[in-house]
């Protein structure tokens, strides 16, 4: 395991994982490398846990190069860079195609796809369960997946198009249930559960994997 060693007059060993998920070891001047390595070994599960959580919270930015993978409906598809003159991002069900550009093309494509795939699902759930919502706006927020205002305007984060359809349904149903209950009370969750009995798996997906949807920003 690689680490940066900082020796000083201190009396104890300490380990720190910095913002780049690198291990920093602070050690007393005279402590042997063998002792240091032994200590690191003992703490290896803590180190792994901590550094992977830092990596997860600090996703890498895409470079929009050949073979790089992008999420769509919960699956990853590779990007192919073409030299033809076609404009914008295209997707053939297996591969994304782009000749130049990057982030803006993906954002535009994700937004259009969300409109085409997710909005009809919102209409379906609203009609089936008689929810009344006003305007629906699509945004690419960094922190929210969706929101519902006091006047029942719903905002949805179109980056959700990268998530499995069950997760998209969960966010839609969650916000529709807020048109009736403006809180996260038990009756609110009971209503969500009634419509989507497996909603907890989607909630978990957002918590564990949701950061991947933001990588594009
Ligand atoms: Zn909520």
List pLDDT tens digits, range 3-14.
889 999 999 999
Question: For residue 216, which of 109, 82, 136, 119 has the smallest C-alpha distance?
Answer: 109
Sorted by where each starts, the structural domains of the chain and their CATH numbers stand as: 4-57 (no CATH), 69-214 (3.30.2010.10)
pTM of the model: 0.74
Bridge partner list, 136: 154
| C-alpha of residue 147 to centroid of ligand 1, in Å | 7
List pLDDT tens digits, range 163-198.
999 999 999 999 999 999 999 999 999 999 999 999
| C-alpha of residue 175 to centroid of ligand 1, in Å | 6
Q: Angle formed by the axes of helices 165-177 and 199-209, to 10°? A: 110
The tokens describing 20, both together, are 């780049």
At residue 58, the pLDDT reads 65
At residue 59, the pLDDT reads 61
| C-alpha of residue 178 to centroid of ligand 1, in Å | 7
Question: For residue 198, which of 173, 178, 179, 181 has the smallest C-alpha distance?
Answer: 173
Mean pLDDT of 66-89: 91
With a cut of 80, say whether residue 126 has pLDDT above it: yes
Question: How much of the chain exceeds pLDDT 90, in percent?
Answer: 74
Mean pLDDT of 31-49: 92
| C-alpha of residue 183 to centroid of ligand 1, in Å | 7
Least confident of 10-14, 32-36, 93-97, 142-146: 142-146
Question: In b/e form, how buried is each residue of 82-96, taking b as 16+ CB within 10 angstroms?
Answer: eeeeeeebbeeeeeb
């Amino acid at each position: 395991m690689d680490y940066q060693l900082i020796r000083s007059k201190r009396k104890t060993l300490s380990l720190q994982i910095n913002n780049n998920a690198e291990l920093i070891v602070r050690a007393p001047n005279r402590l042997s490398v063998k002792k240091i390595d032994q200590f690191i070994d003992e703490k290896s599960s803590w180190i792994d846990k901590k550094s992977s959580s830092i990596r997860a919270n600090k996703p890498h930015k895409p470079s929009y190069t050949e073979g790089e993978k992008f999420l769509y409906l919960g699956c990853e598809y590779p990007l192919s860079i073409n030299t033809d003159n076609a404009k914008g991002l295209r997707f053939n069900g297996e591969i994304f195609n782009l000749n130049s550009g990057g982030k803006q093309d993906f954002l535009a494509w994700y937004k259009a796809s969300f409109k085409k795939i997710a909005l009809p699902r919102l209409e379906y759930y609203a009609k089936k369960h008689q929810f009344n919502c006003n305007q629906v706006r699509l945004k690419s927020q960094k922190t929210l997946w969706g929101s519902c205002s006091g006047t029942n305007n719903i905002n949805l984060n179109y980056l959700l198009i990268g998530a499995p359809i069950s997760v998209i349904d969960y966010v839609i149903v969650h916000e529709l249930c807020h048109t009736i209950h403006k809180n996260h009370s038990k009756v609110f969750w009971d209503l969500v559960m009634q419509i989507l009995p497996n909603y907890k798996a989607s909630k978990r997906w957002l918590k564990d994997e949701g950061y991947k949807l933001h990588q594009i920003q």
